[in-house]
Amino acid sequence: MPQEVRGVIAKAKGEPVSVETIVIPDPGPGEAVVEIKACGVCHTDLHYREGGINDEFPFLLGHEAAGVVEAVGPDVTDVGPGDYVILNWRAVCGSCRSCLKGKPQICFNTHNATQKMTLTDGTELSPALGIGAFCDKTLVAAGQCTKVNPEARPEAAGLLGCGVMAGIGAAINTGGVGRGDSVAVFGCGGVGDAAIEGSRIAGASTIIAVDIDDAKLELAKQFGATHTINSSNTDPVEKIRELTGGNGVDVAIEAIGLPQTYEQAFYARDLAGTVVLVGVPNPEMKVELPFIEIFGRGGALKSSWYGDCLPSRDFPMLIDLYLQGRLNLDGFVSETIGIEGVEEAFHKMERGEVLRSVVVM
């Protein structure tokens, strides 16, 4: 029997979101219905409602979530009713050219549920990142459900489903940060702070936070920044060189998505160092760099999608570190709110007041 539940819908470009009744079909082959416990408000949800991702309105927003599986389709064996899961937006296929090469974390053919959730008049919904989790229940592909230790509170655990994983993974998976490395992180929002946290747990000895907002820099220290630079009044490249014996950092992580900060990251790294772009640029942006510098400095210029994570490998491991007190997920939860609070949470995000507002169902 299809079920009617509450969900946060973006009906049209730029219009405030609203809570509507939505219809969840029973799970078909390869699908699962998940009862949502908590879901973080991410910048990408706002991008959807601004029409910045695509025009497939209405969107069912929310995608950084933890919950409990209620029911699964007939052929699903990996997860079952009662399992506590974090939802991921890259369910790997197992058979594309990347999966076959043993690199499922860069699967080129990730998938979502086949059936559609709808409004009560039958209008099909587009779930944000194939999830849609500002709702009581959602329908996803079973592969989007990653089982983790149920002792982790959902407000914190769900954040691994997007921004926090993207940041941690940018440092430890894409950037390969290791013991004794020096790291600079440009942009200290949820993603940048997660890159700082990831660098800390990987054993980096120097972690330099760069932002234009002093309050954000103060927060960055809580996650492990050893130095901070306000780049609105200090040249970050010069200062980073000064802090690293004149050399620059081993790994420079851009977590904003701007050409100017990408260039700063490029020049702030040591010879043979790595630049990681995790911030998302818009389609009009261009970067101009001296070609000889790209060659002469060696090293690597990399991009990081979802922190190059493999949810089945990374989520349970990071939740274990969290439960052992070695990963600070709680620090990202700025506030918990009800399902009606999403629109106001967007404004707090725009004003830079929160790392994450988390909807608790």
Ligand X SMILES: NC(=O)c1ccc[n+]([C@@H]2O[C@H](COP(=O)([O-])OP(=O)(O)OC[C@H]3O[C@@H](n4cnc5c(N)ncnc54)[C@H](O)[C@@H]3O)[C@@H](O)[C@H]2O)c1
The interface region with Zn ion, picked from 103-111, 134-142, 243-251, 285-293 by CB under 5 A, is 103-111
- Cβ proximity to Zn ion: between 133 and 145 the closer is 133
Where in 148-167 is the site for Zn ion (CB under 5 A)? 162
**Residue the block writes with tokens 């405030």:** 16
Among 48, 306, 332, 346, binds ligand X (CB under 6 A): 306
Tally the C-alpha atoms within 13 A of residue 347's C-alpha that lie toward its C-beta: 5
263: contact with ligand X by CB under 6 A: no
Tell me the helices (H) and strands (E) count for the chain, helix number first. Answer: 11, 18
256: contact with ligand X by CB under 6 A: yes
Tally of CB atoms within 10 A around 164: 32
CB of 107 to Zn ion, least distance (A): 3
CB of 121 to ligand X, least distance (A): 32
Among residues 184, 179, 178, 168, the alpha carbon closest in space to that of 267 is found at: 184
- Cβ proximity to ligand X: between 173 and 231 the closer is 231
CB of 189 to ligand X, least distance (A): 2
187: contact with ligand X by CB under 6 A: yes
**Residue the block writes with tokens 């009606």:** 340
279: contact with ligand X by CB under 6 A: yes
- Cβ proximity to ligand X: between 23 and 41 the closer is 41
Please identify the residue of the shown chain whose CB is closest to the bound ligand X. Answer: 189
- Binding partner of residue 76 among Zn ion, ligand X, none, CB cut-off 5 to 8 Å per kind: none
- Binding partner of residue 320 among Zn ion, ligand X, none, CB cut-off 5 to 8 Å per kind: none
255: contact with ligand X by CB under 6 A: yes
**Range list of H helices, the chain:** 43-49, 97-100, 154-157, 163-169, 190-202, 214-223, 236-243, 259-267, 291-296, 311-323, 342-350
What is the 8-class DSSP label of residue 91? Answer: B
As given in the structure block, the two tokens for residue 165 are: 């994983």
Among residues 28, 32, 272, the alpha carbon closest in space to that of 142 is found at: 32
What is the 8-class DSSP label of residue 173? Answer: I
Taking residues 76 to 95 in sequence order and writing x for each that binds Zn ion by CB under 5 A, - otherwise, the string is -----------------x--
**Range list of H helices, 28-129:** 43-49, 97-100
CB 311 within 8 A of CB 86: yes
300: contact with ligand X by CB under 6 A: no
Among residues 43, 39, 42, 89, the alpha carbon closest in space to that of 66 is found at: 39
**Residue the block writes with tokens 């407000």:** 155
309: contact with Zn ion by CB under 5 A: no
175: contact with ligand X by CB under 6 A: no
CB of 129 to Zn ion, least distance (A): 7
112: contact with ligand X by CB under 6 A: no
For residues 192 and 180, give the distance between their C-alpha atoms in angstroms, rounded to a whole number: 20
As given in the structure block, the two tokens for residue 279 are: 């911030």
What is the 8-class DSSP label of residue 76? Answer: -
- Cβ proximity to Zn ion: between 58 and 167 the closer is 167
- Cβ proximity to ligand X: between 214 and 340 the closer is 214
192: contact with ligand X by CB under 6 A: yes
For residue 334, the surrounding DSSP H or E stretch is strand 333-337
Where in 32-61 is the site for Zn ion (CB under 5 A)? 42, 44
231: contact with ligand X by CB under 6 A: yes
As given in the structure block, the two tokens for residue 261 are: 């900060």
Among 33, 34, 43, 181, binds ligand X (CB under 6 A): 43
For residues 356 and 341, give the distance between their C-alpha atoms in angstroms, rounded to a whole number: 13
- Cβ proximity to ligand X: between 116 and 241 the closer is 241
* Residues of the shown chain interacting with Zn ion in the complex, contacts defined by CB under 5 A: 42, 44, 93, 96, 99, 107, 109, 162
* Residues of the shown chain interacting with ligand X in the complex, contacts defined by CB under 6 A: 43-44, 162-163, 166, 186-192, 210-213, 216, 231, 255-258, 261, 278-280, 304-306, 352
